[in-house]
């Protein structure tokens, strides 16, 4: 395996792994909060499900970037990067979603847990909880778009 391919695959692994960790922690945090509410009022499950799922998007963004790298580097198609510089370019392209996905997934989980508390007390205010969680999602989406744009231009 050449150094360029190794660096590109390291970037893909970071994008998938770190964004996945952020999503897992975020979904876990929101789900723990929701579990307490659902035990008292199972009818709120549908409203809480959206808040439990939202932090999972970061992992999906990381997976998409990881697959794009695999497609572009000869692992799933395309040609392997020539030299370390090309591999470093892929590694650098993966860092925004790796770091953005990690930190925004965790932060979004906390915001979703707070939203669960809103729905527990005032179920009619669920849209405010979702909007608050969506504000954090914006930064994960920006990191994804930035990684995506870099990869399609390598």
**Cα 83 from Cα 39, distance rounded (Å):** 56
What is the per-residue pLDDT across 98-151, written as a single tens digit (0 to 9) for each? 999 999 999 999 999 999 999 999 988 889 999 999 999 999 999 999 999 999
Q: What is the pLDDT of residue 74?
A: 85
CB distance 131 to 50 below 8 Å:
no
**Mean pLDDT in the chain?**
94
**Cα 140 from Cα 35, distance rounded (Å):** 25
As assigned by CATH, the class of the 3-152 domain is mainly alpha
Q: What is the pLDDT of residue 30?
A: 96
Predicted structure pTM score = 0.90
Domain-by-domain residue ranges, the chain?
3-152
What is the per-residue pLDDT across 42-92, written as a single tens digit (0 to 9) for each? 999 988 999 999 999 999 999 999 999 999 998 887 777 778 999 999 999
Q: What is the pLDDT of residue 1?
A: 66
């Amino acid at each position: 395996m050449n150094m360029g391919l190794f660096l590109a695959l390291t970037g893909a692994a970071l994008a998938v792994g770190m964004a996945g960790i952020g999503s897992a922690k975020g979904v876990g945090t929101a789900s723990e909060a929701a579990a307490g509410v659902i035990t008292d009022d199972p009818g709120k499950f549908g409203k809480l499900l959206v808040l439990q799922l939202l932090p999972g998007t970061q992992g999906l963004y990381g997976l998409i970037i990881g697959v794009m790298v695999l497609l572009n580097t000869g692992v799933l198609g395309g040609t392997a990067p020539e030299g370390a510089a090309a591999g470093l370019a892929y590694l650098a392209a993966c860092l925004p979603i790796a770091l953005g996905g990690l930190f925004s997934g965790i932060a979004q989980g906390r915001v979703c847990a707070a939203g669960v508390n809103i729905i527990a007390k005032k179920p009619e205010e669920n849209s405010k909880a979702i909007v608050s969680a969506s504000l954090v999602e914006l930064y994960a989406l920006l990191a994804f778009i930035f990684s995506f744009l870099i990869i399609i231009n390598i």
